[in-house]
Chains A and B, each alone.
Chain A
Amino acid sequence: MGNNKKIRVLVVSDSPGHATGYYVVGKGLREAGIEVILGGFQIPPQIVESAVQEDVDFIGYRIMDGAPEILVPRLVELLKERSIRDIQIIVGGIIPPPIVPTLKGIGIEGIFTPGTKISDIVDYVRSHFDAGT
């Protein structure tokens, strides 16, 4: 038996459409041996419930049309309310440069904007994965 912990990532988006990046990332993670749960278009309270039920290690949040400076802090806040500390958030999509410091300020380190290589995301996920939990 032993421990066969797999990395689990929930990928969600802030709006329907513009889904190419979302699928490319999902497929890339799968090819790296990661279990990807497709969550589709969800608002932060739904994302929290999905992440809890699926017991994921990461939430990959694709933001194209929305306001990352509102959505991401809201998600962080909701996770805190549920006392969830071990699910990490990764953000991807259109993140205007002035907003990046705001996100970093609330603890979001993985921010991937257009031009990112899949291998960078995979490396990030692997190096930040806590196998202990």
Chain B
Amino acid sequence: MELIDKMFSGDQIALARLITILENQSQSVPEIMKAIYPHIGNAYLLGITGPPGGGKSTLVDELTSIIRRKGLTVGIVAVDPTSPFSGGALLGDRVRMQKHYLDDGVFIRSMATRGSFGGLTNAAKCVIRLLDAFGKDIIIVETVGVGQTELDIIKAVDTVLVVLVPEAGDTIQTMKAGLMEIADIFVVNKADREGAKQMAGELRTMLNDSQKQTYWQVPVMETQANNGIGIDELYAEIEHHRDVLLQTGNLSVRRRRQRESELAEIVERRIKDKIVERIRKEGKFSVLVKKIADGEIDPYSASNEIFSDKEVLRDCFL
């Protein structure tokens, strides 16, 4: 594929086109992934998540400045939700990253969560690999951490930052949102606001009670992203986490686990696509949908009818 050669020669337009192809989950995804896979694994992957309005994009902007000063290049994948009603999206993270618009060592791409079936999770993971193969040293993935899709993407990185603000409610809210378990580093941003110290303290207490790994105690960092305060310390902590992962051999453990779930996901998705496609082809499917709509049958009994058809089953699994 000509685009892939161009991308490897450093062509940003080709890189952007390839991202679009991955994002649209078009037929050529396997071909692209095959070509780039030998070139991945060199980038360090950083994930940033947390509730909306926590200052994640501003934090990404500040961290990017530090990384650039160290002479490293950065790829940013900023994910925002798609409207479930219209299918459209407003992707606004870029606005907070204006400092780097003319720096060719920084590539920023906004992605919408789009549809169902874990589509984005897969597409975003492919895009991360692509930026890695392109040669970016550090890849930052930013998501709004409220849904399963976003959490799934975040699980595919090396270091996870969970960004909270005092206004986000007490730490119980954080536990409810499932953010407690995925954080490698907690960031209490807007630390100059009321309640920030208390929140950081509560988080530390909670984390002391439930240390998840023997080799790493999750730290709580306080930052003011828009004033550039606490960012150097945060970056030092990210480097510290990376060093600990490397020294203890846990980076390769983590990455192997990610590859494992990646393969499982691909297989699962292909099976699902195949089954759904086969079932939809059957005239019976639309008949059953109509029956359900008319209240003649419930969806569970309808699915039993589909699965009692031996021919359909054979087609699905052979």
Contacts and interface: CB of A to CB of B under 8 A. Distances in A.
Are the chains A and B members of one assembly?
yes
Interface of A: 1-6, 26-27, 29-40, 42, 45-46, 49-50, 52-55, 82, 84
B3 to A, nearest CB: 12
B166 to A, nearest CB: 26
B90 A27 contact: yes
Interface string B74-90: 00000000110111111
A40 B98 contact: yes
A27 B193 CA distance: 31
A54 B26 contact: no
Contact of A38 (B95, B108, B112, B273): B95
6 contacts: A2-B26, A3-B24, A3-B26, A38-B95, A53-B16, A53-B108
B88 A45 contact: no
Nearest to A83: B13
Interface of B: 12-13, 16-17, 19-20, 24-27, 29, 82-83, 85-92, 94-95, 98, 101-102, 107-110, 112, 114-115, 273
Given A3-B26, A39-B95, A45-B102, A53 B12 contact: yes
Chain B interface, DSSP helix/strand/loop, else mixed: mixed
Nearest to A30: B88
A3 B28 CA distance: 10
A73 B101 CA distance: 20
Given A1-B27, A52-B12, A84-B13, A36 B109 contact: no
Given A1-B273, A52-B16, A30 B24 contact: no
Most buried by A among B13, B88, B108: B88
A28 to B, nearest CB: 9
A54 B109 contact: yes
A30 B86 contact: yes
B102 A55 contact: no
A30 B84 CA distance: 11
Contacts of B95: 38-40
B83 A31 contact: yes
Contacts of A36: 88-91
Nearest to B85: A31
Chain A interface, DSSP helix/strand/loop, else mixed: mixed
Nearest to B111: A35
Contacts of A6: 24, 87, 112, 114
Most buried by B among A3, A6, A37: A37
A5 B114 CA distance: 11
Nearest to B16: A55
Contacts of B110: 37, 54
A85 B274 CA distance: 38
Given A50-B101, A82-B13, A26 B90 contact: yes
Given A36-B89, A46-B102, A55-B17, 4 more contacts: A3-B27, A6-B24, A32-B88, A53-B109
A100 to B, nearest CB: 29
A32 B86 contact: yes
A6 to B, nearest CB: 7
A37 to B, nearest CB: 5
Most buried by B among A27, A35, A38, A40: A35
Contacts of A49: 101-102
B91 A38 contact: yes
Contacts of A1: 25-27, 29, 273
Query: Which 8 residue pairs of A and B lie closest in terms of their CB atoms, listed nearest first?
Result: A30-B88, A55-B16, A40-B95, A33-B87, A46-B101, A38-B92, A55-B20, A33-B88
A37 B12 CA distance: 18
Nearest to A82: B13
Contacts of A32: 86, 88
